Structure 1
Amino acid sequence: MQASTLRALCAGTAHVALLAAGLAAPAHAQTNAAPPRADEAVAIDTIIVTGSRIQRRDADAVGVVTTLTEQDIKNSGANSVGELLQKLPSAGVSLSSNGTQGTSYGASSINLRYLGGAEGSGNRVLVLVDGHRWVDGVGQRGFRDFVDLNTMPLGMIEGAEVLKDGASAIYGADAIAGVVNLKTLRDFDGVKVQAKYGVSSHGDGASYSGVANFGKRFDKSALIVSLSYVKDKPILTADRDLTRVTLVPTTSVGTSPNGLYILPGLSNNTYFGTPAGFAASATPAALTAGSTIGSGSAADDAFHTASLPGDYYNTQAQGIYSTGPSERYGIYGRFTSDLTDKIRLKVEGLFNERKSDQLFSPVLLDIGGSAGTIRGFAISSKQAYNPFGVANGVPAANALGFAANQAWRIRKVMNEVGNRDNVQDVKTYRIAGGLDGEFSLLGRDWKWDVYGLYSKNKIQTQALNSVNYDNLALGLSDACATAAGCTPINLFGTMTSAQAAYIRYTARESNQTEIYDVTANVTGELFQLPAGPLSIAAGYEHRTNKALDTPDAFVNALPTYIPTPAAGAAYASNTTTTVQTRSPTKGQYSLDEVYVEAAVPLLKDAALAKSLDVSLAARYSDYDTVGGDSTFKVGVGWKPINDILVRGTYSQGFRAPSILELYQGGRQTSFQGADPCNGGASANPKLPGCVGVPTGYNQANYNLNGLIPGTISGNTKLKAETADTYSAGLALKPRFLPGLTATIDWYEITVHDAIASQSATQILSLCAQQGGVFCGLVTRDASTGAITNLVQGVQNLSQIKTSGIDSTIRYEFSTDLGRFAAVLDTSYLESFKTTSPNPAGGAPIVDERAGKGDQPRATYPHWKGQTSLGWNKGSWNALWRGRYIGGSTDVTNPVKDAHTKAIFYNDLEGGYQFDKYDTAVSVGVSNLFDKAPPASYANAPINYDIYTYDARGRYAYVRVSAKF
């Protein structure tokens, strides 16, 4: 580790954090919450484990639940709730990292079983806080339809439970893949503080975080206030070997600050003395670096025919973030009071603010007349900075102008305008409250609760240093000379600061989501059966979700100085800036739901049945968008002896389309994907969809690092998706080996009418391999082959079917050397198949993803696991953690084998507990051996899946906590 890193680490001990990802063992039904500490002793008569609304003294009939305790959280090295959950082996691709090659834009999600929506958004995972709903997220380019875990202040979370077998019948929609229930602080007296500082061995990616929790118990009430702060600093792609240069080989000259010029009239021009083919489409010209453009006939001397390697330019070295910066502030407060002996009041309030940004390379300009990505521009022979015009001393008879109906084109990296920067400011508000209590009915005690909440997420975004096409067009035209405030633009050399300022544009947008939710529940025992009480829970919920997206009006307006579609020009454009356009979106839906759940003990202390329990649940959901539907769940738990629990569940899932999926207006975007037609038709003679693509074509040479321009939109004709989930498992707790528990569970989930869209790579592959109707979603430039638009729309695909096995072994034991705790937690993804209709008819198209990583940000290894060995003796403690991500396939490529390697991370932590103020100091190192992510050609240009791995490398941290 570098000395500077050690100095920074030591200097940062006063900085602060609470939550981090650690290893938590999935616990079977009997796992209870961690026992209260001595200063927090309270009577606990009943508990609720995620997966059931029924309150009971134990949870033997509840399915498998992964429990993250307060100690698990403290003993880990992450900086957010999302990172905490995303390291679970059962978690799939989830939004994270805030890098410029992804779409997280500072948000964080949890995607169980890989069943989340686009890029692991997590919209098939229900995220609850103390059993209640959370508001949907917001984003840089419109609102989201999943919970953003970065809207939760760190200090408010004390534990978590993850149910992975589906629970729509118990909790409602969105629980197809499972439920994550985050638990807030328990009441306490005093002050708890924690501070954490960490930094990578490269000296970057530093993080500062801290929590201060204040608690006070009164005679019949309690108050908690939690303050949280987190700051993460960025990591640049240029600062890691893996991400410094794209893996995609450069086969032709790409865009650079020296420009690429296709200028009709310069080929074989007698006046300028240029050879045949000079500045033609097949041999564009570039400005020679450091040269000065001569006047008159010498103007061409500053230009040369672009070629490799001399004109290679690496856009990855432009200050691009591999991991972007983020800063979060949060405050959470809760007041509880016993209004009577049987009625309690709870009121909660929360505010959280996140500021984040993503730095991109400068705009890669691509304009022209009837060529280029954005067309309809013209450069007069009289324009002030046209080197081949009269302003540069060229006689009028020899001067060249470039008209809007000519196939001229200029591509240039706009360094003078500056790096593009997307900036987010997200504010989350939440107020909630309720009553709960007990009553007696039919000689039995019952519990009830009512709860209401309102929450709102709102984001203000900026897209800095984009280019105003309207001002650029005016600045290139004759009209600039007489237009008030116009600055003539030089695209043939270095622009002045005034020129850059004239065409620079900052887009300002906002979007928001809201939730109104009211719930009521009752639970108790109906009557006594021979094996125990028949317990039930029932309830009602009314919920309204709203969303509003207000994009920048100028960005979405038609340009003034470029021909528009209304003008009827074939070279028309309908965009005013380089910022992606989208239509305003507004939508909402409301629903009413009722449910009932029963826990039925069938046998107890019988032959070969120490216990046999059945749990049943049913829910009816009525949406004002897609109507009503019912879901059911049944679970069985059988103990032939006390040491063995055999369990199984069947559940039905239901998810109505979200506001985003229904109403999202057409939105421009950029897809990451591999074009099978690279090399052109001649290099791909067996691919009918590549016919007409020019030889030597490579999508990587177009747009931003080869990103594919496209359009996505909602679909108001969507219907609800349903699911069937089966699980079966075994839990062992042998009496002959105290401290050992082992579980193994199989699952199979089938989502019917799944709401999804094919990836850009899938769409391109179908087009290339099948041609014809399969290419209807792909538009190419006829002269260059470059993809100019790829349409991706959500639809009800036939089905998604996934299956696998989870297992956990935990062993805790004491020796003369101290107390040890060992855990091994693994997840095997057997299959993940998406079946979609064949647009040409015939057999459906089946895509098996298990074991593959050949699509951007979509790695599906068969095996994932984590393990740990903890030790403590007296005031000392230590922990080793290991995390494994199995290998997967990569796309076939010319620079590496078609395989993404497996990786194993090692973490170490040690600490000491002081008596005074219960002060604890821990020092740790994550990724001890500085493992870089496995290289992935499919994820070029950043070269790794940012939603599965991170490029931070070795990371050292120190954590200090105390109680007063």
Structure 2
Amino acid sequence: MSSKRFNLSRLSIFIGALAGLSVGVPTMAEEVSQQASEEAEVISVTGSRIKRQELTTSSPVTVLDKATIERSGVSTIGELLLRLPSVVGSPSSPRSGGNNDGSATVRLRGLSANNTLVLINGRRVSTRGVSSSVDLESIPFDAVERVEVLKDGASAVYGSDAIAGVVNLIMRSNYDGLKVNVEAGESRHGDAGQKRVSFTFGGNTDKARWLVSASHFNDDGWMRRDRDISNEADLRRFGATGTNLRSSKSPRSWIYSTDYERLGFTAVDGASWDPNSGYNLDDFRPFNGYWSSAPGDASHCGASEQCDSFNYHDYETGSNEYQSTTVWVSGEYEIAEDTSLFVEYNSADIRSINYFAPGALEFGDNIIVSANNQYNPFGEDVIVQRRITENGILRPRDADSDVDRFTFGVKGVISDWDYDFVYSHQRSKVIETRGQQMSLARLRTAAGDSDDCLARTDGCVPLDLIGPFGAVTEDMMGYIFAHKPTSIFDNTLRFLSANITGEVFELPAGPVYVAAGAEVRWQDASVNHDVGLNTGDVAFVEQVSDTKAPTRKIEEAYLEAALPILADMPMAESLELELALRHSRYSDFGSTTTPKVGVRWQITPDLLARYSYSEGFRAPTFGELYTPSQKGFVNDTDPCTTDSWSSLPGCTVRAPGDLGYTSLTGGNQDLEAEESKSFTTGVVWTPESLVEGLSVTFDYWNIEQTNVVATYGATRKVTENANNPALWANTVIRNPNSGAIIEVRDVYENVDRRELSGWELEGRYDLNGTSSGDYSFQLGVSKLKEWVDIEIRSGVENRTDSAGLVTGGASFPQLKVNGGVNWTQGDWEASWNISYIDDLLDSDNDVVELPKVDNYFKHDAQVSYHMPKYWESKLTLGIDNVFDEEPPILASTVDGGHDPSTYSARGRYFYARVSFSF
């Protein structure tokens, strides 16, 4: 095989070295330096499909190479990307809190995961269910050669979803031999154990190369009750900013008359039911488990018999139990000179389990204990709220995920033009179960007339919801626990693509390079639920409906060009213009055309300036478009039911009731695509003549996003409508006579626009050849200047800036810093890395206005020893979170007193790894 080759420029070498600053010391510098005096293969860099000489384009790209990934000490791609300073907004991960479906996503610039495009070897990847988010857990971690993160809009180059940027995972493809890795770790708490066994086996011949990489990974997780910060849901223990977030859905029954005007009782401990006389009315006292009436002594609440609220943190997961087996297979065979066939296969078998507290029946479920129920001593129908914990049945979310991705094609060179034709078929299937749960229909039957219950032929057992904890017997539970909620998420991606790139002609300043191509994609997605979920018969689980989207066909064509304008002039070693244009046509919502313009100005050999402008779009997901409308209960107070109703313009009468209302949620087929305009500008400085080994980049970025797809929330709509009847007049539907809310329509909408901006600084200094070894120092800084939602209400523009805030449970730190040092001497290596997250203000806190959430420092250390005499083995020992830094307290969240998606409560973590190469 032959290929075009070029000599690497000095600046390109340093830019290639400036990689992975946020997670550890990159070793790409070593690899590129070895090539400096040699010829290197023409390559393309993420953000451009043009294969050409320069390693830098007009857009900023961070590269995390294999050595950087190994030094990070992480076990998954999701964990690796979470450490990037440009990732904010609380992305999802199985190790980031218990309320997780087992998947991992990335949020560049704090935008939703749907706005960051994930690629494998520059090609699209199947997503999960009806979303457009790729589950990073399905990517074979050990098979990843490097990760390239483009921090710029790239819809013109790659299409939909690349508004915030692109994560391109470059997989290993060229390895000769066998390498085996074994690693294990555990937290200082004796939990969170992780184990991984993997191997990579590959070979090369004159005409072929092949590689197989497989791994098995196990993570034991941990429970919230095993961490001081998360073991208690009453956050008043954290001081004046704390809220009591214990649940009133308690193992102690909360009993009311059906008009909610009388009773409010619960049974005292020791109350017992007599088959002849029933319960004694003296066995009941006022219930005090509602958050505002719970005892004020938070430290005593857990042990007090008079504290009726429920600490659900005793039962919930802090980090998921998790197992995965992943396989990556690749091969390439030269069928003729300059023509090769290639194939790639990725499979992942993943199981993730997290636990929620046992289920409850709520007032909104309208469970009436009949006056004729044998356990009811009140002589009238009563309504009851109660959590059934007698048998310890939890609500596990058991997600079994199977992913298969198969890609093959032909590539080669014709008259110095590189081309490829590719076909890919990919499928992701997730089966999610919730364990044995209660049937609302059976609850109502068993709580009803006892004689009617006993007369049934389905095994009905009269249910005691009146008595104290322990009153619900095994026979009673055997009847009411009748469901095992199951959902199946299916997603299929198929595509055909053709690409060509090369030099078209020569200008006085140099060659003009172009890339062009076309792609046709077919996407299918569905979500299917069992009967219990579809009918809303599962207690404490919202009713959901099946989603079956029509096949989405996308036809695309793009053209990209790199035009040299100036060369070899004063203050202009080179000046290059980069242009790209993509046209996309969707079968289900229309067409769009997106451009990109970039400027790359090599001012001197040591100084590069760059600028890019791009327009982007994101097609609405299947879920946002096609999820069927479904009704749910909102457990919140309508302002028109309160004593101040007459002062609210939207309340014509005082509405009845105060315990919630019905909302209608679902997809909206009238949605438009999200659109964006973004630009970046920056400089790259490599002052080799002044300080050998120093590299610095600085980039300013700005994104304006319009037609943002989201829901406003039923509670917000009701509140705003009560204060201004012109707002949401068509979505908050009331009975014209009584004023009661009939329904709140809260489907997906194109809600507003956003303006985001910030800057990033990355630097590296290599100090080699000292008597004590080689050193590499690195620093990565990301500053979020603004993250503004802009809404128009009654002709008035309302701006809400989330930068520096915790809002909606997500953290948007203004400043994130990572830095560290790597040392090498002989067979020894060591690294020390420091992560910093700036303090925040908690806008979710209802007790104190904008309390401070402290800043956060974390230190990681690793040492390795090479033993070449023993099968080329390498032993690595590491400590993550050396000083056992706890997450900063967030006293307004149900997620364990902190933001688990931004910080980890795992604590100090020790790990060891050994590898053998043959």
- With normalisation by structure 2, the TM-score equals 0.87
Cα–Cα, structure 1 residues 807 and 304, in superposed 2: closer, same or farther, change >3 Å?
same
Q: Does 1:811 align with 2:811?
A: no
1:88 aligned to 2:66?
no
Partner of 2:64: 68
User: Per the alignment, in what secondary structure is the counterpart of residue 924 of structure 1?
Assistant: strand
Task: Measure how far apart 1:725 and its partner are.
Answer: 0.9
Does residue 539 in structure 1 map to residue 517 in structure 2? yes
Name the residue aligned to 2:394.
Answer: 419
Distance of 2:391 and 2:143 partners within structure 1: 45
Shift of 1:332: 1.4
Whether 1:436 and 2:423 are equivalent positions in the alignment is no
The partner residue of 1:324 within 299, 306, 320 is 320
Which residue number corresponds to residue 290 of structure 1? 270
1:515 CA displacement? 0.4
Which residue does 1:98 correspond to in 2? Answer: 94
Query: What SS does structure 1 have at the residue aligned with 2:357?
Result: strand
Distance change >3 Å, CA 852–CA 312, structure 1 → 2: same
In structure 2, what is the Cα distance between the partners aligned to 1:203 and 1:790? Answer: 48
The answer to whether residue 211 in structure 2 is matched with residue 224 in structure 1 is yes
Q: Secondary structure at the match of 1:546?
A: strand
Deviations 1:183-241 (A, max 9, x none): 00031111112222111111121111232111111331112111111111222111112
Residues 253-305 of structure 1 deviation map (CA, whole Å, 9 limit, x = unaligned): 9232121111479xxxxxxxxxxxxxx74651111123323553762233222
Partners of 1:752 and 1:900 in 2: CA distance:
31
Contact 2:358 2:387 in 1 (8 A): no
Runs of at least 5 residues in structure 1 that lack an aligned partner in the other structure: 1-21, 117-121, 266-279, 367-371, 389-398, 558-573, 703-707
Q: CA deviation at 1:689?
A: 8.4
| Paired amino acid for 1:293 | W
> Which residue number in structure 1 is paired with residue 610 of structure 2?
647
- Whether contact under 8 Å (2:69, 2:80) holds in the other structure is yes
User: Distance between the aligned counterparts of 2:649 and 2:883, measured in 1?
Assistant: 47
Q: Using the alignment, how far apart are the partners of 1:835 and 1:931 within structure 2?
A: 37
1:486 matched to 2:445? The reply is: no
CA distance in 2, matches of 1:786, 1:357: 41
Write out per-residue CA displacement over residues 87-129 of structure 1, whole angstroms, 9 at most, x where no aligned residue: 100012243343796653111001111121xxxxx11111110
Relative distance call for 1:66 and 1:297 in structure 2 (3 A) is: closer
Residue 281 of structure 2 is aligned to residue 300 of structure 1? yes
> Match of 2:541?
579
Q: In structure 2, do the counterparts of structure 1 residues 677 and 323 end up closer, same or farther at CA, with 3 Å as the change threshold? A: farther
Pair 1:860 & 2:790 matched: no
**Counterpart residue identity of residue 92, structure 2:** S
The answer for the alignment partner of 1:755 in structure 2 is 709
Structure 1 residue corresponding to 2:379, chosen from 397, 400, 422: 400
SS in 2 for 1:554: helix
Aligned counterpart for 1:823 among listed residues 768, 771, 778: 778
Of residues 854, 858, 864, the one that matches 1:905 is 858
The residue number in structure 1 matching 2:620 is 657
**Could you say if the C-alpha distance between residues 710 and 136 of structure 1 is closer, same or farther in structure 2, counting changes exceeding 3 Å?**
farther
Distance in 1 of aligned mates of 2:862 and 2:384:
58
Q: Does 2:91 align with 1:132? A: no
For 2:379, the aligned partner's letter is L
Aligned residue type for 1:862: Q
Task: Identify which of 724, 731, 734 aligns with 2:684.
Answer: 731
User: How many residues are matched?
Assistant: 860
Deviation string 1:22-74 (CA, Å, 9 cap, x unpaired) is 981389xx9979738999x9974211110110111223444211000001101
Partner of 1:495: 472
**Residue 459 (str. 1) matches residue 438 (str. 2):** no
Which deviations, in whole Å up to 9, do the C-alpha atoms of 1:283-338 show, x marking residues without a partner?
51111123323553762233222234413333234320121211111111112100
2:443 to 472, 477, 481: 472
Post-superposition offset of 1:420: 1.2
Question: Secondary structure, in 3 states, of the residue corresponding to 1:464?
Answer: coil
Distance 1:149 1:99, change over 3 A: closer
Q: Would the alpha carbon gap of residues 74 and 622 (structure 1) be closer, same or farther in structure 2, given more than 3 Å must change?
A: same
Q: Is this contact kept in 1: 2:866–2:875, CA < 8 A? A: yes
Asked if the contact 1:336–1:345 (Cα under 8 Å) also holds between the matched residues in 2, the reply is: yes
Q: How does 1:1-20 map to 2 (within 5 A)?
A: none
Q: Which amino acid aligns with 1:420?
A: R
CA distance in 1, matches of 2:165, 2:278: 71
Aligned match for 1:450, one of 398, 403, 421: 421
Task: Give the distance between the partners of 1:874 and 1:715, measured in 2 at CA.
Answer: 62
**Equivalent residue number for residue 364 of structure 2:** 373
Equivalent residue for 1:933, pick from 887, 897, 911:
887
CA deviation after TM superposition for structure 1 residue 83, in Å: 0.9
Letter in 2 for 1:451: V
The 2-side partners of 1:508 and 1:921 are apart by 44
> Displacement, 1:896?
9.0
* Contact 2:98/2:319 (8 A) holds in 1: no
Counterparts of 1:726 and 1:100 in 2: how far apart (Å)? 32
Give the aligned partner of residue 828 of structure 2. 876
Q: Say if 2:334 is the partner of 1:355.
A: no
Distance in 1 of aligned mates of 2:814 and 2:229: 24
Q: 1:358 to 1:780 in 2, by over 3 A?
A: farther
CA contact (8 A) 1:676 1:764 kept: no
The farther-off stretch of 418-427 and 574-583 is: 574-583
Q: What's the CA shift string for 1:531-562, capped at 9, x where partnerless?
A: 211111100010111101111123323xxxxx
CA distance in 2, matches of 1:460, 1:733: 51
Aligned to 1:188: 175
SS of the residue aligned with 1:938?
coil
Identity value in percent: 29
Q: What are the residue-to-residue correspondences of 1:576-725 with 2, within 5 Å?
A: 577-587=539-549, 588-666=551-629, 712-725=665-678
1:451–1:660: structure 2 CA closer, same or farther, 3 Å change rule? same
Residue in 2 that maps onto 1:833: 788
Partners of 1:95 and 1:107 within 8 A in 2: no
**1:401 Cα deviation after fit:** 4.4
- Partner of residue 485, structure 2: 507
Contact 1:283–1:306, Cα closer than 8 Å, also in 2? no
**SS of the counterpart of 2:475?**
helix
- Paired residues of 2:194 and 2:217 also in contact (CA < 8 A): yes
Q: How far apart, in 2, do the equivalents of 1:933 and 1:823 lie?
A: 24
Please tell me whether the aligned partners of residues 126 and 175 of structure 1 are also in contact (alpha carbons under 8 angstroms).
Answer: yes
1:269 aligned residue: none
State the SS of the aligned residue for 1:51: coil
In the alignment, the residues of structure 1 paired with residue 633 and residue 569 of structure 2 have an alpha-carbon distance, to the nearest angstrom, of 63
- State the 1:179 CA deviation: 0.9
Contact 1:887–1:902 at 8 Å: present in 2 too?
yes
What is the rounded CA distance, in whole Å, between the counterparts of 2:407 and 2:775 in structure 1? Answer: 42
Output aligned runs, 1:759-778, within 5 Å.
Answer: 766=720, 773=727
SS in 2 for 1:591: strand
Looking at structure 2, the residues matched to 630 and 114 of structure 1 have their Cα atoms a distance apart, in angstroms, of: 25
Assess, with a 3 A threshold, how the Cα gap between structure 1 residues 354 and 902 changes in structure 2: closer, same or farther: same
Shift, 1:757, TM fit: 2.7
Amino acid at match of 1:260: W
Counterpart of 1:124, as a letter, is N
| CA distance in 1 between partners of 2:644 and 2:764 (Å) | 55
Q: Which moved more, 1:477-486 or 1:355-364?
A: 477-486
